[in-house]
């Protein structure tokens, strides 16, 4: 279990391909507003989303050729 700063640093290290800048900002706000006792669980929930591969930043393009 770490501090809010530790978890925010971990969020900053998540590759942008998995978590874009806006998503990171939202995740950091969530961490900042989380009770210290719940940090580990909340961080786990945030990173579970990244690990499952739900990335909606870009829609696939259809090759018309």
Task: Give the residue extent of every domain in the chain.
Answer: 4-51
What integer is the mean pLDDT of 51-65? 60
Other beta carbons within 10 Å of 43: 22
pLDDT of residue 55: 54
**CA of residue 15 relative to chain centroid, distance:** 9
Q: How far is CA 31 from CA 39, 46, 61, 62, in A?
A: 7, 9, 34, 38
pTM: 0.69
Provide, rounded to the nearest whole percent, the portion of the chain with pLDDT above 70.
72
pLDDT of 38 higher than 70: yes
- DSSP H helices, 1-65, are 4-13, 21-32, 39-51
pLDDT of residue 48: 81
For tokens 């925010």, name the residue: 8
Q: Give pLDDT tens digits for 9-32.
A: 999 998 888 788 999 999 999 999
């Amino acid at each position: 279990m770490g501090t809010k700063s530790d978890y925010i640093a971990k969020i900053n290290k998540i590759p942008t391909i998995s978590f874009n800048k806006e998503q990171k900002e939202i995740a950091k706000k969530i961490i900042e507003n989380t009770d210290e006792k719940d940090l580990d669980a909340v961080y786990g929930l945030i990173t579970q989303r990244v690990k499952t591969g739900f990335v909606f930043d870009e829609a696939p393009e259809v090759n018309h050729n």
